[in-house]
Amino acid sequence: MKRKINLFPCLHLFLLLCAVAAANFYFHSYFTRILLTLLIIVPVCSIGIAYTSLKKLYIPQQSVLMNTIRGQHVALHFPLRNKMPFPIIQLKVVIKEENIFAHQMETDRERNIILFPRQKFFFSHTPDASVCGMVKVTLSSLTLSDYFGLITLKRTIHATGHLQVFPQNQEYTGQQMIPFRQMNADDISQIRDYLPGDRLNLIHWKLTAKKDSLMVKELSEATEHSLIIGIELFDNPEHIINKILDQAYSLAYFCISSGQFPTITWWNMTEQTQEFQTPTTMDELQDCFSSILCAETYTQLHLLPGDTSLPMILINENGEFEFDEAIYF
C-alpha cells in the first residue's frame, strides 16, 4: 500500500498545534490542554482509520462476465464491502477499459464513491458497446484520504469484468441474399416419423395429411452442411470490424433459420491455426461467436480455403462478400 503525505493540510495542522501550544504556555488553562491533546489524537486516529479501512475493504477477485448486442449498453457490477464501523467518504476508484478484440484502450477513468459502515455496495460501470469484441474492465486501484486530508493511501487491486459485445443481426432474407433454391428430392435421404427436436420446416405436410401422423424429411449430410462462411478478422477501423462481424453473424443466423448448418471458419492468431465450427442451433452460434470475439485481429491475410467440395462465402477484410461459386440456400 502506497502512502502520500499532503503538505498543505499537514502544514495547517502544524500551525494550529503551534498556536494552541503557545496559548497553553501563556494561559495554562485546562481548555487549551484538552484542545492540544485532541489536535494530536484525532488526526492520528483519522489516519489509522483510513489505513485500516482501505486494508480491510473487501473486493472479490473473480471475473464478472456479461453479454450484450452491439449498441445496447449493459452495466458491469463490482461488489465492495466496508467492514469497518466508520464511513469511507473519500474513496477514489481508477477504472481501465480495453476492447481486446478491436485493440482499443481507453484512458484511465476515476470515480469517487462513498461507502457506509458495514454495508455492501455495488460499484457499476457501463463499458462502451459500440464496437464488437471482448471489452475488459479492470478496477486497477483504490485511493483513500483520511477525514482531514492529511495523508493519501493507495491500494493496487485487480478486479476484472468482461463484456462480450455480439454483432447485430441484420435479419437477411433469401431475396436479399443470393438466389434461393428450394429443397429438392436429391437433398432428402429418407422420410421418417417425427421425433421431438426435429425442425418444423422439415415436416412433410402432404404425407402427414395422408397418414394422420407427423412425418419429417431427413436431409443428407451434404445438404445440412452446405456452406462455409469464412471471416477475415483483419485489423480495421471500428466500422469495418462491425461490418465484418455483422455480415457473418447475420448470414449464419439466416442459414440456421433456413434449415442449413453452415461451417464458420476463421484464423486463430493465438494458436496459429484455422478454426472450424458448425453450429446447428442459435445457442451454438452464440458460443461460436464467443470464441471469435476472444480471438485477435491481424494485419496480414491468413484465412485459408476450406473444403473445396462445399461452396464458400468469404467476408473479406473490407466486410464485403466474396463467392467462390454460385451459392444456394
208 in any annotated domain: no
Q: Are residues 239 and 161 in the same domain?
A: no
CA distances from 14 to 40, 43, 148 (A): 10, 11, 13
Q: Are residues 232 and 132 in the same domain?
A: no
173 in any annotated domain: no
Q: Are residues 162 and 258 in the same domain?
A: no
Closest CA to 290 of 100, 137, 75: 100
Q: Are residues 20 and 162 in the same domain?
A: yes
176 in any annotated domain: no
Q: Are residues 119 and 237 in the same domain?
A: no
180 in any annotated domain: no
Residue 22: CATH number of its domain: 2.60.40.10
pLDDT at site 32:
79
pLDDT at site 201:
60
Q: Are residues 13 and 160 in the same domain?
A: yes
d(Cα 148, Cα 11) in Å, to the nearest integer?
A: 12
Q: Tens of pLDDT along 37-71?
A: 888 888 889 889 999 999 989 888 777 889 999 98
CA distances from 167 to 80, 275, 312 (A): 32, 19, 21
328 in any annotated domain: no
d(Cα 254, Cα 165) in Å, to the nearest integer?
A: 20
pLDDT at site 314:
74
pLDDT at site 95:
92
Least confident of 115-119, 185-189, 317-321: 185-189
Q: Are residues 136 and 229 in the same domain?
A: no
pLDDT at site 327:
38
Range(s) of the domain holding residue 228: 221-323
Final residue before a domain boundary, out of 131, 166, 201 = 166
| The three cell numbers locating residue 314 | 468469404
Q: Are residues 225 and 162 in the same domain?
A: no
Count of CB atoms situated within 10 Å of the CB of 31: 11
Q: Tens of pLDDT along 156-211?
A: 988 899 999 999 988 765 444 443 344 455 556 678 888 876 666 667 777 787 77
Average pLDDT over the chain reads 79
Q: Are residues 161 and 258 in the same domain?
A: no
Q: Are residues 21 and 117 in the same domain?
A: yes
186 in any annotated domain: no
177 in any annotated domain: no
The domain tally of the chain equals 2
318 in any annotated domain: yes
Q: Tens of pLDDT along 221-243?
A: 544 446 788 888 877 788 888 88
Phi, psi of 117 (to 5 degrees): -60, 135
pLDDT at site 67:
92
Q: Are residues 226 and 160 in the same domain?
A: no
Percentage of the residues of the chain whose pLDDT score is greater than 90: 19
Q: Are residues 233 and 307 in the same domain?
A: yes
Q: Work out the average pLDDT over 4-24.
A: 79
